[in-house]
Structure 1
Amino acid sequence: MSGTAEPSTPTAPALEPFTLRVLTVNTHKGFSSFNRRFILHDLRDAVREVGADIVFLQEVQGAHQTHARRWANWPETPHYEFLADQIWADFAYGRNAIYPHGDHGNAVLSKFPITSYQNRDISILGPEKRGMLHCVLELPSHLGRQLHVVCIHLGLRERHRQRQLELLRHMLDNDIPADATVIVAGDFNDWRRRANAILRGSGLQEVFDSAHGASARSFPARFPLLRLDRIYVRNARRHRPINLHRHPWSRLSDHAPLAAEVSL
């Protein structure tokens, strides 16, 4: 039996994944380990070399009147603005610690527009002031989605960290859509390595743990032993860690930075 074959319908080519690069670093308020040298200018050069689209900063100085008088090369703008200069068009700052001569906290630098942000105080009783800075980023229109990023710095005490991780999970489970892409990064001070299992319940995967079976060693920067810093991802196609050279980072902070590529 003869007949005419139905014309085949062309299949639209699959879209290539959109890949962005992220970096997290505890800036140690612009000073080297043990506060021996003011190295913010060198830190800015190193951050730029990574080519990150989004930068998560902890312990970034907003203002410090005493240091501004003491150091001739102290910038006239807040440190997060100085680091963002002409590279990251948008930035957000969450002030955590306030004292008579200044303040410091967390910041996010972004090459994408930050449409909204909120700094949440997660301090527990005592002198430690901690926060998590939640930003919503507008990605290129063809992706049809927003990106939620959270820059976080947890406490030194185990009991405080457990409560702060509960607050993070509550935000992830209740305040961010379940299908939204999320990146959480920062200084978790999680030397007992308990955060990964806790945050897995909210769908977060730690980039270095997924790739290597353990989070990266990041402290102290010169001879990293403790796995304190993390990059977590939810609802991404794939992610992979980026290896950064020890030089010059080992002399720029007491924490080594972490970087990763995330494909959406």
Structure 2
Amino acid sequence: MLGITVATYNIHRCYGIDRRFSPERIRKVLEELDTDIIALQEVETYDDGGFDLLKFLSGGQYQPIAGPTLLRHNAQYGNALLSRLPIKQVLQHDLTVPDREPRGAIDARIQTSGITFRIVATHFGLSIRERRLQAQRILELIEPQAESVEILLGDLNEWFLWGRPLRWLHRAFAKTPSFATFPACFPLLALDRLWVRPNIVLKRLQRHDSPIARIASDHLPLRAELELPTRLTLDTQA
């Protein structure tokens, strides 16, 4: 078996609960997480020679993949993926619902130790109808299962534990624990989620709650430990 770690974190454009812009604090939280792959939401970076936030957060340790959903004349904003593991393929999916803020998903195949696994990182919208449509779109993208291990993670903005998007995704992946991640200073809502299939691969899922994480963003990160079957394991099982 191959152990890997993944995380999801809405960094709120690097504005903390004190309303102070501090990429340094976010980078410190990423260092605390110390994961192989990190899905980020609300990443804003500039294209005109200004501050390259994604490059800064990568810290020379990660390969950054941008998944912008909003493009301005000198900046882009949206999702991102940081990976220490080799990325084999990346697709960008548009999840935008008309008359709502543009949304999307990063769909990556990552290859390590002779196996390929899939990770889909996303950020759903704020309205109930919007989230339902986006969940349906995600389900269309992930059915049937294409890789031996698939991970879906991100900020789903779904605070109704009985809501349809969560019920649909629980059925597709098997239910995983929910942890309140918002607001970071006093977490009440489980907005950030992570699923893995097959579920047996998921060995540990926890909320990362440290003093700096409680002020660096308005969300707390989720961190997961996985054990992936190696090619030898798959061949033996077959």
- TM-score class, shorter: 0.7 to 0.9
Structure 1 Cα separation of the partners of residues 157 and 174 of structure 2: 17
TM-score (norm 2): 0.88
- Taking only the aligned residue pairs, the percentage that are identical comes to 29
* 1:87 matches 2:87: no
Aligned amino acid, residue 230 of structure 1: R
Aligned amino acid, residue 155 of structure 1: G
1:245 is displaced (CA, Å) by 2.9
Structure 2 Cα separation of the partners of residues 243 and 168 of structure 1: 24
Q: Alpha carbon RMSD of aligned pairs, Å?
A: 1.9
* 1:140 matches 2:103: no
1:136 is displaced (CA, Å) by 0.7
Structure 1 Cα separation of the partners of residues 82 and 212 of structure 2: 21
* 1:170 matches 2:150: no
1:243–1:259 Cα contact (<8 Å) kept: yes
Q: Which one of the candidate residues 182, 185, 194 is aligned to 1:231?
A: 194
User: Which residue of 1 is the match for residue 233 of structure 2?
Assistant: none
TM-score (norm 1): 0.80
Structure 2 Cα separation of the partners of residues 64 and 87 of structure 1: 21
User: Which residue of 2 is the match for residue 71 of structure 1?
Assistant: none
| Larger RCO, structures 1/2 (Cα 8 Å, 6+ apart) | 2
Q: Which one of the candidate residues 133, 145, 157 is aligned to 1:189?
A: 157
1:20 is displaced (CA, Å) by 0.9
Stretches of 4+ aligned residues off by more than 3 angstroms: none
Greater Cα offset, 111-120 or 160-169: 111-120
Number of positions where the alignment pairs a residue of Structure 1 with one of Structure 2: 225
* 1:154 matches 2:90: no
User: Which residue of 2 is the match for residue 57 of structure 1?
Assistant: 40
* 1:105 matches 2:105: no
Name the SS for the 1:156 alignment partner.
Answer: coil
Whichever of the two has the greater Rg, that structure is: 1
Structure 2 Cα separation of the partners of residues 181 and 241 of structure 1: 16
Structure 1 Cα separation of the partners of residues 171 and 61 of structure 2: 36
| Deviation per residue, 1:122-154 (Å, 9 max, x gap) | 01011411101101101112xxx2010111000
2:182–2:189 Cα contact (<8 Å) kept: yes
Structure 1 Cα separation of the partners of residues 5 and 211 of structure 2: 20
